[in-house]
Structure formats: C-alpha cells, structure tokens
Structure 1
Amino acid sequence: MFIHTSYVCIVIDCNMAKEKLSEMVAERIKKDIAAKKYKTGEKIPAEPELMEAYQVGRSSVREAIKSLAMAGVLRVQQGNGTFVNEQATAQPLDQRLHNADFDEINAVRMLLETELVKLAVDHHTQADLDAMHQHLTDRRHAIETENKQACTNADIAFHTAIATASRNKVLADLYDYFTLSIRSLFSKREQQGIAHFAMSHYLHDALFDAIRGKKKKEALKIIQQILSNNY
C-alpha cells in the first residue's frame, strides 16, 4: 500500500501541534492555580468547560491534565473529578527531584527498579531481551573506550529496557521520568570517571541472565546489590 509522504508529514505535524497545545493548556492551568482561579483542594472544571475556556480539543485537555497529575499539580479521582493538590503551588516535582540528595534518589530508584525487575522476569519477550543485550554490548564498549557519556546512556537504556519489559506502562513511564534524576546523579560523580560502570558490569550481565532465565529470586538479589552499591 502506498502512503504519500505529504500525508505522513501532515500526521506528524498534527501530532506535534497536539503536544504543543497540551503544553500550552498545562501552563495556563498552572497560571490559573497560581492566580487562585482554581484553589487548593478544589475540583477544577470538567473537560467540556476546560475545552471552551482554553479553546482546544478534548485530547489536548486530557494530555495537559495527565502531565500535571504526573507532576503532582493535580490529583485525578476516578468518578469524582480532578482536584488541585495541596502542594500545587510548591516547587515542581522535577525541580524537587533535581534538588534531592543522592540517598533520597537512590531509595526511590530501588523501589521502582525492584518492582520493574520482578515484572520483567515474568513478562519479557525476545525483543526485550535483544534490546537489553544490545545495551549491555554498548555499555561494555563504552567502558573499554573510556567514554563516560556513552556509559551513562547505555546504562540508562539497559534499565529502561527492563522497565519496558515489565509491561506495566505506568511504572515504565514513572521510570522514564525518573531517569532525568538518575542521569543528573551520574553527572555529579564525574570524579569517578567510568570506574563505577566497570566495577558493576558483571552484575548487569548477571541480571540479564537471571531475567532471561526467569530466575526471579536471583534477579531481585542482583538488582538490590547493584543499587545498594550505588551502581
């Protein structure tokens, strides 16, 4: 079947436009919260009212609410509506994560990755294993060539592949959001170069083998060892 390239471009442009609109709506909602139009603890208007207020479509409103809920600005209660969180006017979540210390970030990382590894053992596909193996190969090559940035990229990609293999989209999305903080932590450990990547590579290989072999207890033991040693 032939699909004209101009049609593809229109679809891409439309998707980009929706993303920009949802971002604009999210910013408008945050400004209205700051201006006390939507007060702390109160329910914001329903989708039709927001569509009319901001002159956008339903999908843009939904994406805006989703992003604000993930950021902790809004709280969605199924069947009751969407409410302004008490901490909506506080420091944004991404900024709080950026300012968090290493132990706080690593504690949350341990909770997330432990659950993701557990699920990945049960739900991975061959495509997931192929992706993990490729990222490990890239990680090893980056260590051998002493390329710290490539090490960071490959390491995060490997753990993200595990998150994808969990088949839990909510947890995977949370982990994807959280990788910004993990990357920041790696950059703060500049003085260590690639040493911590090299020392932990055998553990990452072992984790891959355990996931592939569906050895859940072994996989959980290894991920805890990786994280407890701040690898």
Structure 2
Amino acid sequence: MQIQRKTLAQEVADRLIEGIVSNEYAVGEKLPTEPELMKIYGVGRSSIREAIKILSIQGVLDVQQGVGTFVISNIIHESLESQMDKAQIEDVQEVRSLLDAKIAAKAALHRDEEQLEKIQFYLNQRNTLAEEKKALECYQADINFHIAIAEACGNSLLKEIYKITSSHILRSFEIRHNDTSSFIISQAIHERLYLAIENKNAEEAAFIAQQIVDQIY
C-alpha cells in the first residue's frame, strides 16, 4: 500500500485553477475542448476528465453535455491537501498526532479479520525492514501500518485526512532520516497496539496509540 503522491488529475486541476485565478479562463468562458486540454497539459483524456470533475464538485466548472465546459466561479476553496502542501511539517505532524488515539480506538471496535491481517502484515514488515536497516522502506511500512489501522476505523473522513497527513510526513522523513534504530526500539509498543486492536480493547488501543505519539516507550 504505497502512499499516493499528487495525481496527474489533481495537477491538471491545480493548473486550471491557476488559469482561472489569473483570468486566463474567465468566468462565463468556455474551456478548450478535451483534445486541446490534453495537448496543453500533456496528459491523457482520463486525467482531463477527472480534473474537470474535481473542479465541478468544487463549483468552479459547469459541464454542459453536448455544449462544453464553462467557468462559473473564480472563488477557489483550497483543498485540504493543497493547504497541507504549504503547511510546516510540525503542523502536519500535530494534526496527525491528534487523530491517532481516536482512530486506534475506533479500529479496535470496527476492524474485521481481513483488515486485522493487513495491519499485522505491515507490523511484521516494519520489523523486518528495521532489522535490515532499510530506513525508507521501514518508514513506508510504518506509515502503511498506521494507515491500515485508519482504514479499519469505520470513518472514511478520518481515514482520508490521516492518509493525506501521512503522505506529507513521509516526504519529510525521506529527506531527513536514514536510521532504523528508533523503529527497533518502538516495535514492541506497536505490537501491543496491534494486540489491543485484535482484542477489540478500544480504551487500551487509544492509550497505546497516544504513547506512540508522545514517544513514551
């Protein structure tokens, strides 16, 4: 389960927003056709369509079948992901840390056997990679472990926010870290978190998750 970077569709949507804000595409104006947009941005038809869908949902574009796509607003509500792109890593880390205990507690109550197996898979992978001193791969496994818990929490919004924050933290780690000693030290408490979720002990899961956040191990 790889952390997703910004998609081509989101990049095209961002470029279109830049054009709308700069009045390259004015309110009331019809956008170029799909083939023209494909040529302008160098992407396939599916990315163009997905970008238009993103901006339609945001109330920026209006798709009129058989007529074309029109700009209907230049008031852009910045996405959570875009805001996090501009945030300090410490702020992103704080957002994620506020979620961990709640997500762990809900995962303990709502997880199914398939989700539990996925959590355990990444827990074991985290340990193996730490012992092999593969820092980036180990951190990816650690992120995937926590995202697997988020996927089991039963709240899709919490899951998506957690995935976005985790992707930004991963980028920071890739730049700054090359050691696995902290992962080896913290493996035992991560195993305790898994057991709490396996045993459906929400209170214990929340307590351990907070200890991990506060690095009390």
The TM-score with structure 1 as length reference comes to 0.66
TM-fit CA distance, 1:203: 0.9
Find the aligned partners of 2:95 and 2:126 in 1 and give their Cα distance.
24
TM-fit CA distance, 1:170: 2.1
Contact preservation (8 Å) 2:126, 2:142? yes
Equivalent residue pairs, number: 185
Question: Structure 1 residues 107, 34: CA separation in 2 closer, same or farther (over 3 Å shift)?
Answer: same
The answer for the alignment partner of 1:147 in structure 2 is: 134
Contact preservation (8 Å) 2:101, 2:205? no
CA RMSD in angstroms comes to: 3.4
User: Residues 112-137 of structure 1, C-alpha deviation per residue, up to 9 Å, x if partnerless?
Assistant: 22332222122111011100111111
Q: Which of the numbers 81, 91, 97 marks the counterpart of 1:110?
A: 97
Structure 1: where are the runs of 5+ without partners? 1-18, 39-43, 75-80
The answer for the alignment partner of 1:30 in structure 2 is: 18
Is 1:211 the counterpart of 2:201 in the alignment? no
Which structure carries more relative contact order (alpha carbon 8 Å, separation 6+)? 2
The answer for the alignment partner of 2:185 in structure 1 is: 199
Q: Which moved more, 1:25-34 or 1:170-179?
A: 25-34
TM-fit CA distance, 1:28: 1.2
Aligned residue runs from structure 1 range 1-231, under 5 A: 23-35=11-23, 53-55=31-33, 60-64=51-55, 84-85=75-76, 92-97=82-87, 100-102=88-90, 104-187=91-174, 189-190=176-177, 193-229=179-215
More helix by share: 1
Q: SS of the residue aligned with 2:154?
A: coil
Find the aligned partners of 1:157 and 1:94 in 2 and give their Cα distance.
19
Identity over aligned residues, as a percent?
A: 24
User: Residues 21-72 of structure 1, C-alpha deviation per residue, up to 9 Å, x if partnerless?
Assistant: 665344213321243977xxxxx87xxx8xx535459765333456xx6xxx
TM-fit CA distance, 1:162: 0.7
User: Residues 139-174 of structure 1, C-alpha deviation per residue, up to 9 Å, x if partnerless?
Assistant: 111122111122111101101101111232222222
Find the aligned partners of 1:122 and 1:53 in 2 and give their Cα distance.
48
Find the aligned partners of 1:119 and 1:82 in 2 and give their Cα distance.
39
Contact preservation (8 Å) 1:25, 1:60? yes
User: Residues 76-135 of structure 1, C-alpha deviation per residue, up to 9 Å, x if partnerless?
Assistant: xxxxx98835779xxx424323xx143x23311112223322221221110111001111
